[in-house]
Amino acid sequence: MNAAPSRLPVTVLTGFLGAGKTTLLNHLLRESGGRYAVIVNEYGEIGIDGELVVGAEEEVLELNNGCICCKVRGDLIRVVSGLLKRRGRFDGILIETTGLADPAPVVQSFMADDEIRQQARVDGVVCVVDACHFLTSLERSREAGVQLAHASLVVINKAELADEAVVAQVEREIARLNPGATVLRSARGAVPAAALLDQGAYELPRLELPAAPSAARARYVPVPQGRHTDGLACVSLVLQRPLERGRFLAWLQRLVTERGEKLLRTKGIVALAGADRRFVFQGVHMMVDSDFDRPWRTEETRDSRLVFIGHGLDDSELRAGLDACQVSPA
Work out the pLDDT band at 322, boundaries 50, 70, 90. Answer: very high
pLDDT of residue 221: 45
Q: Is 252 helix (H, G, I), strand (E, B) or coil?
A: helix
Which tens digits make up the pLDDT trace of 276-313? Answer: 999 999 888 888 989 998 999 998 889 999 999 888 88
pLDDT at 233 over 80: yes
Work out the pLDDT band at 181, boundaries 50, 70, 90. Answer: very high
Nearest residue to 70 (alpha-carbon basis) of 96, 95, 102, 44: 102
DSSP codes of every residue in 118-177: HHEEEEEEEEEEETTTHHHHHHH-HHHHHHHHT-SEEEEETGGGS-HHHHHHHHHHHHHH
pTM here is: 0.76
Which residues fall within 8 angstroms of residue 2, CB to CB, at 6 or more apart? none
Burial of 67 (0-12, 13-18, 19+ CB in 10 A): buried
Q: What pairs with residue 269 in β-bridges?
A: 280, 305
Higher pLDDT, 266 or 222: 266
For the ranges 3-7, 55-59, 74-78, 193-197, the lowest mean pLDDT is seen at: 55-59
pLDDT of residue 223: 45
What integer is the mean pLDDT of 133-160? 92
**Alpha carbon distances (Å) from 241 to 79, 167, 207, 302, 304:** 47, 38, 21, 8, 8
pLDDT of residue 159: 94
pLDDT at 229 over 70: no
The mean pLDDT value of the chain amounts to 84
Nearest residue to 48 (alpha-carbon basis) of 72, 18, 92: 18
